[in-house]
Structure 1
Amino acid sequence: MAVNCFKCRHFFTTWDANHPRGCRAYGFKTKELPSALVKRTSGIECLKFERKQGEGHKQ
């Protein structure tokens, strides 16, 4: 199952219109979802996903 960055504690939104999404765990900003970039470049699902506190187990 694909990682949902919006439910990850490392995900953040930036003010940079060219790179509006970021990942604190990997330390980068991107135009696409960070998990999609990780999957595309490494060939594996994101290994840094940590569910936000207060988020249930629903996907």
Structure 2
Amino acid sequence: MAVNCFKCRHFFTTWDARHPRGCKAYGFKTQELPSALVKRSSGMECLKFEPKQEEGHKR
């Protein structure tokens, strides 16, 4: 099953039109979803995925 970056706490949107998506865990910006780049580069699913904290829930 593919990792959904939009549900990951490390995902962020940038102001860079050429690289609009980023991953804080791996420290890069990309045009595609970070999980797709990780999969293509390493052959493995993203190992840094952490679900976002839901609104109103504290850990």
Which letter does structure 2 place at the counterpart of 1:32? Answer: E
Work out whether 1:23 is the aligned partner of 2:23.
yes
Which letter does structure 2 place at the counterpart of 1:40? Answer: R
The aligned residue for residue 8 of structure 1 is 8
Work out whether 1:46 is the aligned partner of 2:36.
no
SS in 1 for 2:40: helix
Which letter does structure 1 place at the counterpart of 2:8? Answer: C
- Please state how far the C-alpha of 1:10 moved relative to its aligned partner: 0.1
CA RMSD of aligned residues (A): 1.0
Which letter does structure 2 place at the counterpart of 1:39? Answer: K
Work out whether 1:34 is the aligned partner of 2:34.
yes
Gaps of 5+ in 2: none
Distance in structure 2 (CA, Å) of the matches to 1:18 and 1:2:
24
Alignment TM-score, normalising by the size of structure 1: 0.91
Computing the radius of gyration from Cα coordinates, the structure with the larger value is 2
Which digits, 9 at most, give the CA deviation of each residue in 1:6-36, with x for residues without a partner? 0000000000000000000000000000000
How many residue pairs match? The answer is: 55
